[in-house]
């Protein structure tokens, strides 16, 4: 299975960034987490994952170490390795960090200017994903859109922090939206942000994003506290 997976990704031009087996396996585990197939709080067993991907345990172990640095995976000497659990405290902390960092990064990106072609592609992908049944593609399109809004802020360290936060935010989303769906409402908010970004209205985009995160925070807490 592993060799077939490698060939498919190479042909699609989506192979691992550094070409290593560990990178590719980390990518596959991440996809499984962000699609909800590996559920939040659930165990990540090296043997089971290696059998599923048709590889040995060593690259799986390396991949899990990489993912533990992104906030998606946690490791404990007593409980082993697992997908990061999602609870109210964790969700509030992630949203708080986003509120502190992301609106300013977006404001700076719009002020500095961004690649209109790449931005429009991200918007088109997001719109195309709205009516689809592929939850992973919706999540991926959502992350790509947000990244286009903050990636040009001029601070690579800030971009790295936001990349990791966006992935963890996707884990929160896939965990709670099975109880409270709001994709359509979010997509409409995204389109409004896109219009303001194209028009160069930096402060308005930042304000819209701030409200967007606050509404998301409210919905998440509501879902997590539901009986």
Q: Give me the residues paired with residue 76 across strands.
A: 80
**Closest to 22 in 3D by CA, of 47, 44, 50:** 50
pLDDT category at 136 given cuts 50, 70, 90 is: confident
* Architecture of the 2-83 domain: Orthogonal Bundle (1.10)
pLDDT at 7: 38
Residue 16, pLDDT above cutoff 90: no
* Tokens encoding 163: 């990349």
Q: Which CATH number fits domain 88-225: 3.40.50.10540, 1.20.120.530, 2.70.98.10, 3.40.50.2300?
A: 1.20.120.530
Condensed to tens digits (0 to 9), the pLDDT of residues 50-93 reads 999 888 898 899 899 889 888 899 988 777 899 999 999 999 99
Q: Which tens digits make up the pLDDT trace of 47-60?
A: 999 999 888 898 89
Q: Please state the rounded mean pLDDT for residues 97-116.
A: 96
pTM: 0.81
In this structure, the chain runs to a length of 227
Average pLDDT over residues 186-209: 92
What's the chain's average pLDDT?
85
Per-residue pLDDT band for 127 (boundaries 50, 70, 90) equals: confident
Tell me the pLDDT tens digit for each residue of 21-35.
778 899 899 989 988
Q: Do residues 93 and 58 lie in contact, with contact meaning Cβ atoms separated by under 8 Å?
A: no
Q: Give the model confidence (pLDDT) of 162-191 as tens digits.
A: 999 999 998 998 888 766 555 556 778 888
- Per the CB < 8 A criterion, the answer to whether 121 and 164 are in contact is no
Cβ-contact 94, 185 below 8 angstroms: no
The single residue listed with the structure tokens 């985009």 is 205
- Predicted pLDDT of residue 12: 36
Question: Where do you find CATH 1.20.120.530 in the chain?
Answer: 88-225
How much helix, strand and coil, in percent to the nearest 5, is found in the chain? 70, 5, 25
């Amino acid at each position: 299975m592993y060799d077939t997976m490698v060939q498919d990704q190479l042909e699609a031009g989506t192979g691992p960034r550094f070409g290593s087996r560990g990178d590719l396996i980390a990518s596959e585990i991440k996809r499984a987490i962000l699609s909800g197939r590996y559920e939040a709080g659930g165990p990540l067993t090296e043997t089971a994952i290696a059998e599923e991907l048709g590889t040995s345990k060593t690259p799986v172990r390396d991949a899990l170490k990489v993912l533990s640095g992104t906030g998606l995976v946690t490791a404990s000497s007593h409980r082993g390795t697992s997908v990061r659990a999602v609870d109210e405290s964790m969700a509030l902390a992630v949203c708080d960090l986003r509120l502190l960092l992301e609106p300013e990064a977006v404001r700076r990106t719009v002020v500095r200017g961004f690649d209109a072609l790449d931005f429009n592609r991200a918007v088109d992908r997001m719109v195309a994903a709205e009516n689809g049944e592929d939850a992973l593609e919706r999540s991926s399109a959502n992350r790509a859109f947000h990244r286009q809004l903050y990636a040009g802020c001029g601070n690579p360290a800030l971009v790295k922090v936001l990349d990791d936060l966006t992935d963890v935010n996707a884990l929160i989303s896939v965990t709670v939206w099975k109880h409270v769906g709001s994709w359509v409402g979010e997509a409409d908010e995204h389109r409004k942000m896109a219009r303001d970004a194209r028009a160069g209205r930096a402060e308005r985009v930042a304000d819209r994003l701030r409200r967007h995160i606050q509404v998301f925070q409210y919905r998440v807490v509501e879902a997590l506290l539901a009986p």
